[in-house]
Amino acid sequence: MRVEPFTVGSFLHVVKRGARGMNITGSADDKDRLLRVLFYMNDKHLSHDWEEEIENLAPYTCPPQWSEREPLVKVLAYTIMPNHLHLILKEIIKGGVSTYMRKVGQSVTNHFNVKYNQSGSVFQGSYRSKTIDSDEYLRYVTAYVMVKNVFELYPKGGLRNATKHFNDAWEWALTYAFSSFRDYATMSSHPLLDKDILEDIFQDSRHFKQFTREVIEGGKWVNDELE
């Protein structure tokens, strides 16, 4: 996957991988912080001292002294894996995706290096993206990002056994806190998300489960991509 051309209004599947296959988070606390990074970096007017300024606030709220929030992108879906990150983004201002991914990468790298006494970038170069050019492809990418990837983490045998025991894997996946999977599986919301067109494509939890089950059980995966 490489960065493909896109314009304002484009939907993209974005992947950012750890350098040399290394993990991009070292603990559940790091994953929690990464979720906050994905939220707070999505703002033109981010304060450099944002972590100190939100320390005593409720999660995903902004201090009153901050300028009115102006998002760089829409985050439609996400899954944090041990050594990489999947996002479905919509470009809403020119250069928004590039700026957002640069800010996310810098914040994660700075925190990781200070916490674990390391140096250098946590990530393997820039992000990679594939432009989503149809509603049908968007549906399949959604299943890939949120269900296939979370099912890979299924503790009873990963994706292969999750496919065989779909309902059990589905219930387990609802407990995974670092993906938007459960926001679609339960038709709930998260401050980080703007479901945009996916809210119309997946109108209820039954439809979401039925479609993603068909994709997972019938899918053919080539080099970690849906064929």
Q: Please indicate, yes or no, whether residues 126 and 138 belong to a single structural domain of this protein.
A: no
Give start and end residues of each alpha helix (H) in 117-178. Answer: 135-143, 149-152, 158-164, 166-173
Q: Span 79-101, mean pLDDT?
A: 96
pLDDT band for 39, please (50, 70, 90 cuts): very high
> 104: part of which helix (H) or strand (E)?
helix 96-116
- pLDDT averaged over the chain? 91
Range(s) of the domain holding residue 86: 11-130
CATH number at residue 19: 3.30.70.1290
What's residue 223's pLDDT? 45
Tell me the C-alpha distance between 52 and 36, whole Å: 13
Number of structural domains in the chain: 2
Q: Please indicate, yes or no, whether residues 76 and 141 belong to a single structural domain of this protein.
A: no
- Is residue 49 over pLDDT 70? yes
pLDDT in tens, 127-181: 999 999 999 999 999 999 999 999 999 999 999 999 999 999 999 999 999 999 9
pLDDT in tens, 176-223: 999 999 999 999 999 999 999 999 999 899 999 999 999 999 875 544
- Could you tell me the pTM of the whole model? 0.93
**Rounded to 5°, angle at Cα 15 from 4 and 20:** 115
